[in-house]
Amino acid sequence: MGLTTEQINPLFLELFAAGIESSSATTEWTLTELLRNEEAMEKLRNELTEVIGKNTIRESNLPDLPYLEACVKEILRLHPPAPLFIPHRAVETCEVMGYTIPKDSQVLVNMWAIARDPIVWDDPLSFKPERFLKSGYDYKGINFEYVPFGSGRRMCPGAPLASRVIPLMVASLVHHFDWILPGNIKASEIDMNEIFDFTMLKKEPLCLIPEIRK
């Protein structure tokens, strides 16, 4: 038996809403961190120039842009769009790291804390894309210290889309525009405070002036 129109419409509404806000927030965080890290910005622009020249980036270019992928992976670690995963339920009483989890307990996985654990990550509060260049970490949820889209049967269905759309947006914005902060604001003075909704957003939206790169 198929789904009715009344069932399909809200399903697609939720899918589009979740994909739009999380993707835009991740792109905003990426531009912010790149502005604050001139060396990373220069490395990314050099890679884009070498691979695509003055052309428009296409999805087919993504496999040839490892530093771009590393930048996006690092942003998803440092500023995960969903810091708390969708609630899970313990189907049986179990023990995890010495803690007893009773049956039917609601479990919230804190990705934000896992991704900033100094035991797992070197200098976890710093933006360092290089850590992902040869790390072997991917988006499949196999390495539990890095699961920006979750893991298992309930991992985010939008992972394949986000892993393509976000790099394309970031690359287009970085490759074709110079971004200038208004007034006399320095990149180091950008407000980095977060505000938690379902998606982790910047408390103060990033305000920039674009100039076409020559």
Portion of the chain with pLDDT greater than 70, in percent: 97
pLDDT on residue 45 = 96
CA angle 100, 104, 107 (to 5 degrees): 70
> What's this model's pTM, rounded to 2 decimal places?
0.87
User: Does 89 map to a domain?
Assistant: no
Write out the two tokens for 28: 């905003």
At 30-67, the pLDDT tens digits run 999 999 999 999 999 999 999 999 888 999 999 999 99
Residue with the two structure tokens 């889309």: 161
Average pLDDT over residues 166-180: 95
135: left (phi over 0), alpha (psi -120 to 50) or beta: alpha
Average pLDDT of 127-147?
88
Of residues 213, 214, 211, 212, the one with CA closest to residue 180: 211
Whichever domain contains 143, its CATH number is: 1.10.630.10
N- to C-terminal Cα distance for the chain? 57
Judge whether 100 lies within some domain: no
How far apart CA 3 and CA 109 sit, in angstroms, is 31
At 159 the pLDDT is 82
Predicted local confidence at residue 163, as pLDDT: 87
Residue 162 has pLDDT above 70, yes or no: yes
Residue 71 is assigned to a structural domain of this protein = yes
User: Does residue 167 lie in a domain region?
Assistant: yes
Per-residue pLDDT at 149 exceeds 90: no
Q: What is the pLDDT of residue 129?
A: 96
Can you tell me the distance from the alpha carbon of 109 to that of 22, in angstroms, rounded to the nearest whole number?
18
Q: Does residue 26 register a pLDDT over 80?
A: yes
- What confidence score (pLDDT) does residue 2 get? 76
pLDDT at 14 > cutoff 80? no
- From its phi and psi, is residue 118 left (phi > 0), alpha (psi between -120 and 50) or beta? alpha
Closest CA to 148 of 23, 44, 12: 23
Distance (Å, whole) CA 189 – CA 36? 9
**Would 151 be classed as within a structural domain?**
yes
How much is the pLDDT for 19? 67
pLDDT of 1 strictly over 60: no
Q: Is residue 127 part of a domain?
A: yes
The parent domain of residue 164 ranges over 15-82+111-212
Give the DSSP H or E segment for 24.
helix 5-36
Name which residue leads in pLDDT, 199 or 120.
120
Question: Is residue 3 one of the residues assigned to a domain?
Answer: no
Tell me the C-alpha distance between 47 and 50, whole Å.
Answer: 5
Q: How far from 33 is each of 4, 155, 212, CA to CA, in Å?
A: 44, 26, 20
Q: How many CB atoms lie within 10 A of CB 200?
A: 20
Average pLDDT, the chain: 89
CB 106 within 8 A of CB 88: yes
Is 29 contained in some domain? Answer: yes
Number of domains the chain contains: 1
